[in-house]
Amino acid sequence: MSEDSEKFSFGAELGVDETQVGGWLVGAFKDGGKVVPAADLQGTSELTKGIKIIDVDTHFTERGDLWTSRMPASMKDRTPYMKREGSMDYWFIGDELISPAGACVIDKNRNKRLGRLSIPRVEDCHPAAYDVDARLKFMDDLGVHAQICYPNGFASSSVSLLNWVDKGFAEELIKVYNDDRGDAQKQSGGRLLPMALLPVWDSKAMGKEALRCVEEYDVKGFNLPDRPEQFGLPTFNDDHWAPLFELCNDKEIPINFHIATGGIDGFAVTWKDLDFQKKMAVGAMLFYIGNAATLANFIVSGLLDKYPKLKIVSVESGIGWIPFLLEALEYQVDEMMPDHNMQRRPVEYFKDQMFASFWFEKIAPSKMLDLIGPDNVMFETDFPHPTALYPDPQAHLSEVLADVDPAHVRKILQENAQRCYNIEL
């Protein structure tokens, strides 16, 4: 593990008395916790009938042989693989145990297990977590047509790979990951749409890999870490990012900022003596609101004037905090930036170039759409993670959107995601 690995570790600040592996707490994967039983899913509801729902934040678990089945023999001694130790499945590189596997709380019987980060053994997870055909069947039952998919393990952010391998080999691992996800997209008939990873530490390689993913796999977006300077990389204002931003601007491909894959650690400010479940409850909430920094930084940076077709997506962060963010930023721009003549107001930058999504919320999607903008809101489930909107997202939508203009319902559940991710239905 590199000397700088601590800054890449997710959850390293949880501070409870458990063995830590690659920044993840082994105790968070143990048996126990409440079980939410599966629901009798009937596909779309009366509210969503005729709408092809696009779920813009889900996770697709990496199979244990993702890299070993694709890497050349000369590299396999350094290639990540999955192995069981005791009662749990882990990722290894060589003899080094690097992370628990799985990151799924939906079991084979479709029950949801609370109070943990994952079921300990991948074989006990529902195959929809990692198998394309099983996922499509599950989506049909949930009434979901397409899903945007993010990583679901130790490679959740490209920079996290640098905990265990050098930059050159990390670039090879990213290419294999993107190949695997591109094949899944094809196998699914364009219903599973994985966001590509990029070697963000090398400007030329990053632009080359981004273009390859667009040309070979028709990738619909890229997953980036926020505040890259925390990882020793140039800030987004630097020309280091120009090849990627120019590509995304020209082809109108969104860049996505998923919580917990960047520089804001929601667990770092939780009380030290809170137990694991309490830290998870508070820390997860802070991760959501932490994405406010991402949006605000882009709004004042000038990058959205330079790249007027660049689309920014705040992922797994909710929407209820956005009206306050924009109102506060409107005020602070006037009070604190007298020497900067912005081409647009903060609310206009958000309206023109930004998107966010909700899942568990009731107040914001039902009562605040006029403040946020019905053209900027999308829907997600976070399947199959601990906070996933499960077992019955249709029931939630029927309750929350019952009094919303049907034209806005269609935008939120389908059309905004179509426009953001350039999806043909």
β-bridge pairing 377-379 and 354-358: parallel
φ, ψ of residue 192 in degrees (nearest 5): -100, 125
Question: Is the dihedral angle over the CA atoms 107, 225, 70, 191 positive or is it negative?
Answer: positive
Contact in structure between 153 and 161 (CB atoms under 8 Å): no
3-state secondary structure of 348: helix
pLDDT at 244: 98
CATH classification code of 39-75+127-421: 3.20.20.140
Q: Cα 369–308–381 angle (5° rounding)?
A: 40
The DSSP call for residue 425 is -
For helices 322-336 and 276-301, what crossing angle results, to 10°?
50
- Tens-digit pLDDT profile for the chain (425 aa)? 333 333 333 333 333 333 444 444 555 666 667 899 999 999 999 999 999 999 999 999 999 999 999 999 999 899 999 999 888 899 999 998 888 898 899 999 999 999 888 899 999 999 999 999 999 999 999 999 999 999 998 888 899 899 899 999 999 999 999 999 999 999 999 999 999 999 999 999 999 999 999 999 999 999 999 889 988 999 999 999 999 999 999 999 999 999 877 656 777 888 988 887 888 888 888 888 889 999 999 999 999 999 999 999 999 999 999 999 999 999 999 999 999 989 999 999 999 999 999 999 999 999 999 999 999 999 999 999 999 999 999 999 999 999 999 999 999 999 999 999 999 99
Rounded distance between C-alpha atoms, residue 205 and residue 199, angstroms: 7
Prediction pTM value: 0.92
Rounded distance between C-alpha atoms, residue 381 and residue 358, angstroms: 8
pLDDT at 12: 35
**Nearest one of 217, 190, 216 to 132, comparing CA atoms:** 190
Quickly list DSSP for 286-322: HHHHHHHHHHHHHHHHSHHHHSTT--EEEESS-STTH
pLDDT at 154: 84
Contact in structure between 230 and 7 (CB atoms under 8 Å): yes
Neighbouring residues of 282: CB distance < 8 A, sequence distance ≥ 6: 266, 270, 274
**Nearest one of 378, 365, 265 to 311, comparing CA atoms:** 378
Residue 33: count other Cβ atoms within 10 Å of its Cβ: 15
The DSSP call for residue 286 is H
Where in the chain are the domains? 39-75+127-421
Rounded distance between C-alpha atoms, residue 260 and residue 10, angstroms: 7
What is each CA distance from 343 to 48, 226, 236, 250, 307, in whole angstroms?
Answer: 39, 24, 19, 20, 13
CA 73 to chain centre: 32
3-state secondary structure of 281: helix
